[in-house]
Amino acid sequence: MHSGFDAAAPAGDGLLRIGSIGPLALETGGELPDVQLAFETWGRLNRDGSNAVLVQHALTGSSHVARGSSEEEGWWDALVGPGCPVDTDHYFVVSVNMLGGCYGSTGPASLAPDGTPWGSRFPFVTIRDSVRAESLLADQLGIGRWHSVLGGSMGGARALEWALMYPQRVERCAVIACTAASSAEQIAFAQAQLQAIRLDPAYRGGDYYDGPHPDAGLGLARRIAHITYRSEHELEARFGRAEQDAEQPLGAVLPADRGRYQVESYLDHQADKLVERFDANSYVVLTEALMSHDAARDRGSLDAALRGATSEFFIAAVDSDRLYFPEQSQRLADGLPGDVPVHTISSPVGHDAFLTQIHQLDAQLRATLYAV
């Protein structure tokens, strides 16, 4: 399998590939008959397969972690690549578009056996379902044990589940800006986003592929989410009460005719960007998967669930994160075996600093996980 994988390697790094893993039974009882997972790789798998690293993306991310040989920037170029902490001259890096996503993996927009999109018929997917699917892909790639699995935000939930579901396959695990379980507040923010999409008349219960898409609902969901991704301090320092260009927030008799504040324009821009690149059904599926995240589910108490972990853990938090609080990362670290420190990204940005300020962890990551 290893030699066959080498023979089928693409001409360059960071190029999209599709792996078929066959049927998949899901945690809540559903089943997908023929699952495909989109993935990308960087570097080369060594002879004994000991240098494989799995990088997990966040909610609206993709498998394109680093530019590689492509024309497109990667979402974690500062972390993955030649000379980076996850040095692709030494490590074989894999990233998989999560099951239910819209960047090449089987999802609601994919065709069901009857030749029409799954839409509302796409089954409930959990974080554990996605990890089980990824394990089957890893089998096909000839990877029996990961040197490390790492991810931020939803990617951190997937990384943690890898270490708990397949401890014998994960030597090291990095969970960045994520927690042991989605909290009540995190679920509440997520539910508001889901309702924004589902209440859009164009959503049609999820069966909208033959007509207008629920762009308004998806855009509103993104606005809600993005407020949680940034800190109040950053929004105030960046925008304050400034008006957007020549628009005047107090410049009209009717509310619908007034101008915008800069922060409103910013949220509109973030919404428009996501609507252009993401499927609303996938947003629903992946959000509900993240809501399901709970390391303790069916494993007794949280401490009992974490106590049996055998991987070497790297836990990190953003000090200004108001979505995944640093104390929640500390709770995760406290439950793991041994003395696991919580590394800190110090930034006024908020949650998104796990992407934009990841370089702050370079030295710690090199020293603990990626010394070469």
Catalytic residue among 321, 329, 343, 347: 321
Catalytic residue among 64, 105, 351, 352: 351
Q: Is residue 233 annotated as part of the catalytic site, yes or no?
A: no
Q: Is residue 153 annotated as part of the catalytic site, yes or no?
A: yes
Catalytic residue among 62, 95, 110, 153: 153
Rounded CA separation 154/178 (Å): 7
Distance, CA of 93 to chain centre: 16
Q: Is residue 303 annotated as part of the catalytic site, yes or no?
A: no
Sign of the CA dihedral with 138 first, then 139, 142, and 146 last: positive
Beta bridge partners of 151: 56, 175
Q: Which active-site residues does the annotation give?
A: 153, 321, 351
